[in-house]
C-alpha cells in the first residue's frame, strides 16, 4: 500500500523509509515535533514482494492546539536486525521486546536500563516459536477438528449421499497433510 493510499484509508499520514534509514527517519520526526511515542509493531509481509516484515511506529506531535500524528514504516528483510529507537524513546523498549518475541525481529542497540537485552516478555518460559508470523503453526487448531458448519453435500432426505463431499477445510494456521502426521 502506498503512503497516499494508507493516509486516505486511515486518515493519518504515513511515511515509508528505507530499512537502513529507520533510526535516522524517526530521529528526524522527533526533531519535527513528533515527540510522543505511542507504539512500535510489525506486520508479517513474507508473502509480499519484497518479502519481509513491515515495522511500524506511531508518533504524535502534542503541541497544544496543534495535535498531529504519523505512522512511520520500513520493510525489514527476514533474519535482519533493525536499529533500536530506545535511545530516542526509552518507552519503546517494551514494544521492541514484544515485537522481538512475537515476530522474531531483533533490535540492534536495544537497551532498557536493565542490561538484560531482548528477552521474553509475554510468552511462558520455554515457549518455542514466534506466534504472530504467518508461518507459525497453531498447534491447538491442528489437534482439534475445525468446529465449522456441517459440510455441504451431506446426506440427502433419502439417506444417500447427495454428492461427493468437499475437501475438508482447515482453519488458518493449520498445516495441510503434506506437513506429515500431527
Give the domain CATH number at 74.
Answer: 3.30.460.80
pLDDT, position 9? 75
Please, what are the averages of pLDDT over each run of 10 residues along the chain (182 residues)?
A: 69 94 98 97 94 97 94 96 97 96 96 90 91 86 62 55 61 70 60
Q: Residue 180, SS3?
A: coil
What is the model's pLDDT at position 21?
98
Q: Cα separation of 172 and 179, whole Å? A: 15
CB-CB contact of 128 with 152 (8 Å): no
Closest CA to 88 of 107, 64, 68, 106: 107
Q: Are strands 68-76 and 52-61 parallel, antiparallel or unpaired?
A: antiparallel
Total domains present in the chain: 2
Q: Are residues 95 and 7 in the same domain?
A: yes
69 and 37 in contact (C-beta within 8 Å)?
no
pLDDT score recorded for residue 24: 98
> Does 165 lie in the same domain as 104?
no
Same domain (yes/no): 12, 82: yes
Give the number of residues written for the chain: 182
End-to-end alpha carbon distance in the chain: 37
Assigned C-alpha cell, 111: 537497551
Q: Residue holding cell 510468552? A: 123
What is the pLDDT at residue 63? 93
Domain limits for position 52: 3-108
Which CA distances in Å does 92 have to 49, 53, 96, 160, 182? 28, 18, 6, 62, 39
pLDDT of residue 143: 67
User: Does residue 120 lie within any of the structural domains?
Assistant: no
Amino acid at each position: 500500500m502506498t503512503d497516499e493510499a494508507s493516509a486516505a484509508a486511515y486518515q493519518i499520514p504515513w511515511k515509508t523509509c528505507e530499512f537502513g534509514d529507520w533510526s535516522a527517519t524517526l530521529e528526524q520526526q522527533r526533531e519535527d515535533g513528533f515527540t510522543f511515542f505511542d507504539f512500535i509493531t510489525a506486520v508479517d509481509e513474507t508473502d509480499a514482494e519484497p518479502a519481509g516484515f513491515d515495522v511500524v511506529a506511531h508518533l504524535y506531535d502534542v503541541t497544544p492546539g496543534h495535535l498531529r500524528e504519523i505512522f512511520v514504516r520500513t520493510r525489514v528483510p527476514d533474519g535482519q536486525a533493525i536499529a533500536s529507537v530506545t535511545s530516542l524513546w526509552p518507552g519503546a523498549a517494551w514494544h521492541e521486546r514484544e515485537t522481538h518475541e512475537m515476530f522474531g525481529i531483533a533490535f540492534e542497540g536495544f537497551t532498557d536500563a536493565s542490561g538484560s537485552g531482548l528477552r521474553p516478555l509475554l510468552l511462558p518460559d520455554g515457549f518455542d516459536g514466534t506466534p504472530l508470523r504467518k508461518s507459525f503453526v497453531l498447534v491447538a487448531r491442528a489437534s482439534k477438528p475445525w468446529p465449522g458448519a456441517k459440510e455441504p453435500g451431506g446426506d440427502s432426505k433419502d439417506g444417500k449421499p447427495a454428492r461427493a463431499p468437499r475437501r475438508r477445510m482447515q482453519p488458518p494456521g493449520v498445516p495441510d497433510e503434506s506437513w506429515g502426521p500431527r
